[in-house]
Structure 1
Amino acid sequence: MSVDNKVPVSDVKGKRAAPRTPNPLLGPLRQTGKLFALGLEVARATFRRPFQFREFVEQFWFIASVTILPAALVSIPFGAVIALQVGSLTQQLGAQSFTGGASVLAVIQQASPLIVALLIAGAGGSAICADLGSRKIREELDAMTVMGVSPVQRLVVPRVLATMSVAVLLNGMVSVVGTLGGYFFNVILQHGTPGAYLQSFSALAQLPDLYISELKALIFGFIAGIVAAYRGLNPRGGPKGVGDAVNQSVVITFILLFFVNMVMTGIYLQIVPPKGG
């Protein structure tokens, strides 16, 4: 039989098999799995020796230096806006005595960890992603792997721990500055009573509110560091790919932060009863 008379392998009962179309969900799911795998690898590598203490200190100082002043400046208007909005609402309802407690709880539980995490992701996370991405396209990470040095343990772990540490420390500062800003704006602009403001704060606030705020900051810092490191380790293309990875890391971090904040807030309000409840 000649070659021309052979039936094509792809023909089944006279019908040619249709080409397979890729599933659009496989790409995002695969990227999500790799992101979780990197997080687990970082968690395991954190307890390995030797620990890169010098790299950790350098990254900690860099992230803190680029975020501490913006965090302090942003926390003042955030606290003021929350206090003014809550104060205006409580005046309409005739519950001015609860202005201090409601505004301070909003600053500590919601605004403070989000402000810190967004600043760390925008300033520190973008720098981490750009640094790792430039090392990747220069094949420095491949050279480290060939020499038996783990890039995750050598570069990623100190940066992730630095973002977590800075987030926890900055969260305390932002909580204090935001609370003071809300206090002064409520007293000065809305002619609130200082004693009533402080009394409502002490009546409604409790230590678990501060604990959940610090826990949020710790988890948000971890998310910002992991996402920045993942996108930096996996750039597509050359320098343009590194720039795109930086933009993607910031956007992905913002989305994850708001989603995780919603989940943690819902769980906290279900587990911890309000003070006096």
Structure 2
Amino acid sequence: MKARDGLQTAFGHVGRMASLGWDVLRATPRRPFQVRETIQQAWFFASVTILPTALVAIPFGAVIAMQLGSLTQQIGAQSFTGAASALAILQQASPLITALLVAGAGGSAVCADIGARTIREEIDAMEVLGVSPVQRLIVPRVIGAVGVSLLLNGMVSVVGVLGGYFFNVVLQGGTPGAYLASFNALAQLPDLWISEIKALLYGFVAGVVAAYRGLHPAGGPKGVGDAVNQAVVITFLLLFLINLLLTGIYLQLVPPKGL
């Protein structure tokens, strides 16, 4: 009975999060659009994530390049190091790094802010006054998370590929021409599109989950703290699940580019 009740509760939370996401999509084009609030939230997300994201992207790209460089040397395929590392960074590592930092740094702050407003009954007061909390508070934060995720994803892709190039060429003695030639031969434009689509969805999920947990804390400051932790964990789980689904669909629909 307890297991069944827990499963029903989990599915109930998923359904309410999906409903909140749909409400955000419907409220986004409505007027008045909170331009100033959206810009402030986007700037906040950028200010707390841009430096950690750049610092994480460099060693991440280096680790991928060195690991793949060592593997390709063992099987005698050093000329494919650039393509393998760059595609791994572009399709998988870049959107995930971006989303994890957006959710961990920005999403947790959003959850804490909305949770504090909820326990102070500000959300209830807005609803009594006829002001939509979704349109006034949540939409700007979700748009800010999505916009910053898209921009940071591009930055992580560039930094990761450059870091991989540097460590492969300098530390492992790779050939610069072979690294770039294999990347140009195997990479294609859909690889960039799927990376940006992942970043968009990840940013949206991070914003919606943070807002949902902020709207439903257990009560009191401790409840808000627990909601922040839960928001981060739930977001991470959803991101990896979405990444698995999108990667499978992409590999089935987009044929690989041959040499």
TM-score (norm 2): 0.98
How far 1:221 moved relative to its partner? Answer: 0.2
Q: Which amino acid in 2 is paired with 1:86? A: L
Q: What are structure 1's unaligned runs of at least 5 residues?
A: 1-18
How far 1:237 moved relative to its partner? Answer: 1.4
Q: Which residue of 2 is the match for residue 205 of structure 1?
A: 187
Q: How many aligned positions are there?
A: 259
Alignment of structure 1 residues 21-36 onto 2, 5 Å: 23-36=5-18
Q: Which residue of 1 is the match for residue 81 of structure 2?
A: 99
Distance 1:22 1:170, change over 3 A: closer
Q: Which residue of 2 is the match for residue 111 of structure 1?
A: 93
How far 1:26 moved relative to its partner? Answer: 1.4
Distance, in Å, in 2 between the alignment partners of 1:158 and 1:235 is 21
Identical aligned residues as a percent: 71
Q: Which residue of 2 is the match for residue 67 of structure 1?
A: 49
Pair 1:160-2:146 in alignment: no
Q: Which residue of 2 is the match for residue 172 of structure 1?
A: 154
Q: What are structure 2's unaligned runs of at least 5 residues?
A: none
Q: Which structure has the larger Rg over C-alpha atoms?
A: 1
TM-score (norm 1): 0.92
1:76-135 Cα shifts (integer Å, max 9, x gaps) = 000000000000000000000000000000000000000000000000000000000000
Specify which of 226, 229, 245 is matched with residue 247 of structure 1: 229
Distance, in Å, in 2 between the alignment partners of 1:94 and 1:46 is 53
Q: Which residue of 2 is the match for residue 81 of structure 1?
A: 63
Distance, in Å, in 1 between the alignment partners of 2:157 and 2:92 is 10
Q: Which residue of 1 is the match for residue 213 of structure 2?
A: 231
Pair 1:190-2:172 in alignment: yes
Q: Which amino acid in 1 is paired with 2:169? A: V
Distance 1:153 1:99, change over 3 A: same
Distance 1:88 1:154, change over 3 A: same
Q: Which residue of 1 is the match for residue 129 of structure 2?
A: 147
Distance, in Å, in 1 between the alignment partners of 2:74 and 2:14 is 46
How far 1:229 moved relative to its partner? Answer: 0.3
Equivalent position SS for 2:5: coil
How far 1:22 moved relative to its partner? Answer: 6.9
Q: Which amino acid in 1 is paired with 2:237? A: I
How far 1:265 moved relative to its partner? Answer: 0.4
